[in-house]
């Protein structure tokens, strides 16, 4: 049955969903839940020891709410400490990464390899939830290596739920911890949506969010017949205008859908503010290159920004000129 209020979220993506990206996504949709990139507990705790503050890693614009901080780590004590810091920064949710298969992450004994240690994940979640009142959620896969049976996944979810996690984001493919790069691990293992559907049937009280390979509104509507929400990653980044329909399609049928040009206009004051504080234009414009995807003027937009936004002293006029170019077509 379709959830009354589905959850729509944009996936945590390292190097992509930084605060500039999230500010832009928030202009497209007021109601989606936005995630930070994964930040490791070590990075947070080291920065705190060094500087006594974590703004560089954790600061965000108030407009980005609702926003979840994704943590990478596996020490219950450190995760609990970081969850508390997240709460003090005003994050609406803290999420534990149990899905990343990179070698670096495995070496630190966190990410997807934690699927083999449900006891430890349960301990982490319990320690975090004991420290904070915001929800602690878990993002995971349907399995790793040979541990890819439904029973293994269901046992993992049961144990972590008993520790206090009520919401799971499930990337509907397994990960191979050896032999595949993180990119290949997002493409090669087949998507198995039926596993996530079964999980929701078996754990009806848990919030189950489906992630992986979702690209169109038709797919979103289909998935929302059996899960509580969807999370989009690569499509939301490469073709952000898909987010412009979230509010109207899922939350408020009277919500207006801004045009692409209007969205650029709305972003200009933010860009000006950031530039005034010394930010480089390209750090922001790299996230908006896909805005005109599928339009006749997509290439002009992308090329003009790519060729000009990185130049020394590049300012707001570059974005205005790119917009003027696409408006001409």
Ligand X SMILES: Cc1cc2nc3c(=O)[nH]c(=O)nc-3n(C[C@H](O)[C@H](O)[C@H](O)COP(=O)(O)O)c2cc1C
Q: Which residues are catalytic?
A: 100
The reply on whether position 43 binds ligand X by CB under 6 A is: no
Label residue 278 left, alpha or beta by phi (over 0 means left) and psi (-120 to 50 means alpha): left
Between residues 172 and 322, which has the closer beta carbon with respect to ligand X? Answer: 172
Distance CA 54, CA 170 (A): 29
Going by C-alpha positions, the residue among 120, 102, 123 that lies closest to residue 111 is 102
Between residues 13 and 243, which has the closer beta carbon with respect to ligand X? Answer: 13
The reply on whether position 143 binds ligand X by CB under 6 A is: no
Interface mask toward ligand X for 161-200; x: CB under 6 A = ----------x--------------x--------------
If 0-12 CB within 10 Å is exposed, 13-18 middle and 19+ buried, where does residue 166 land? middle
Contact window for ligand X (CB under 6 A) among 7-15, 25-33, 40-48, 154-162: 7-15
Closest contact distance (angstroms) between CB of 283 and ligand X is 16
Between residues 220 and 281, which has the closer beta carbon with respect to ligand X? Answer: 220
Residues 122 and 153 sit within 8 Å (Cβ to Cβ): no
Label residue 8 left, alpha or beta by phi (over 0 means left) and psi (-120 to 50 means alpha): beta
The reply on whether position 6 binds ligand X by CB under 6 A is: no
Q: Which of residues 289-318 bind ligand X (CB under 6 A)?
A: none
Total site size for ligand X, rule CB under 6 A? 22
Which residue in the set 21, 28, 38, 82 belongs to the binding site for ligand X (CB under 6 A)?
38
Contact window for ligand X (CB under 6 A) among 84-92, 219-227, 233-241, 254-262: 233-241
Q: What DSSP line would sit under 264-324, residue for residue?
A: HHHHHHHHHHHHHTT--HHHHHTTSTTTTTTSTTHHHHHHHHHHHTTSTT--HHHHHHHHH
Contact window for ligand X (CB under 6 A) among 24-32, 211-219, 250-258, 277-285: 211-219
The reply on whether position 32 binds ligand X by CB under 6 A is: no
69-102 residues labelled b (16+ CB within 10 A) or e (exposed):
bbbbbbbbebbbbbbbbbbeeebbbbbbbbbbbb
Closest contact distance (angstroms) between CB of 261 and ligand X is 26
Contact window for ligand X (CB under 6 A) among 21-29, 93-101, 155-163, 272-280: 93-101
Distance CA 266, CA 289 (A): 16
Contact window for ligand X (CB under 6 A) among 86-94, 143-151, 228-236, 305-313: 228-236
For residue 92, what are the CA distances in angstroms to 67, 155, 258, 322?
6, 27, 26, 35
Which residue in the set 6, 7, 9, 12 belongs to the binding site for ligand X (CB under 6 A)?
12
If 0-12 CB within 10 Å is exposed, 13-18 middle and 19+ buried, where does residue 328 land? exposed
Which residue in the set 118, 212, 240, 290 belongs to the binding site for ligand X (CB under 6 A)?
212
Which residue in the set 85, 100, 114, 250 belongs to the binding site for ligand X (CB under 6 A)?
100
Which residue in the set 234, 283, 310, 325 belongs to the binding site for ligand X (CB under 6 A)?
234
Between residues 13 and 136, which has the closer beta carbon with respect to ligand X? Answer: 13
Which residue in the set 22, 25, 139, 286 belongs to the binding site for ligand X (CB under 6 A)?
139
Which residues form the interface with ligand X (CB under 6 A)? 11-14, 16, 37-38, 70, 97, 99-100, 139, 171, 186, 211-214, 232-235
């Amino acid at each position: 049955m379709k959830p009354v209020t589905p959850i729509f979220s944009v996936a945590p993506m390292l190097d992509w969903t930084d605060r500039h990206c999230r500010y832009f996504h928030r202009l497209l949709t007021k109601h989606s839940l936005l995630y930070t990139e994964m930040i490791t507990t070590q990075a947070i705790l080291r920065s705190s020891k060094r500087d006594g503050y974590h703004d560089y890693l954790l600061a965000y614009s108030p407009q980005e709410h609702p926003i979840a901080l994704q943590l990478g780590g596996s020490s219950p004590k450190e995760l609990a400490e970081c969850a508390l810091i997240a709460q003090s920064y005003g994050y609406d949710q803290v999420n534990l990464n149990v899905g990343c298969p990179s070698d670096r992450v495995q070496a630190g004994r966190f990410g997807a390899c934690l699927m083999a240690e449900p006891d430890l994940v349960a301990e982490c979640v319990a320690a975090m939830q004991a420290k904070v009142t915001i929800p602690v959620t878990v993002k995971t896969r349907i399995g790793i290596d040979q541990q890819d049976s439904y029973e293994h996944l269901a046992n993992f979810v049961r144990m972590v739920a008993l520790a206090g996690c009520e919401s799971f984001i499930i990337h509907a493919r397994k990960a191979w911890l050896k032999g595949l790069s993180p990119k290949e691990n997002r493409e090669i293992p087949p998507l198995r949506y039926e596993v996530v559907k079964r999980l929701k049937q078996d754990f009806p009280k848990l919030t189950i969010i489906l992630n992986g390979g979702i690209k169109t509104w038709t797919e979103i509507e289909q998935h929302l017949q059996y899960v509580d929400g969807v999370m989009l990653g690569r499509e939301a980044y490469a073709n952000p205008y898909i987010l412009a329909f979230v509010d109207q399609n899922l939350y408020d049928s009277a919500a207006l859908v801004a045009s692409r040009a209007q969205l650029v206009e709305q972003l200009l004051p933010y860009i000006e503010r950031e530039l005034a504080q010394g930010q480089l234009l390209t750090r922001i414009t790299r996230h908006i290159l896909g805005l005109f995807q599928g339009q006749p003027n997509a290439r002009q937009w992308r090329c003009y920004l790519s060729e000009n936004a990185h130049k020394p002293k590049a300012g707001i006029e570059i974005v205005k000129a790119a917009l003027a170019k696409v408006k001409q077509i």
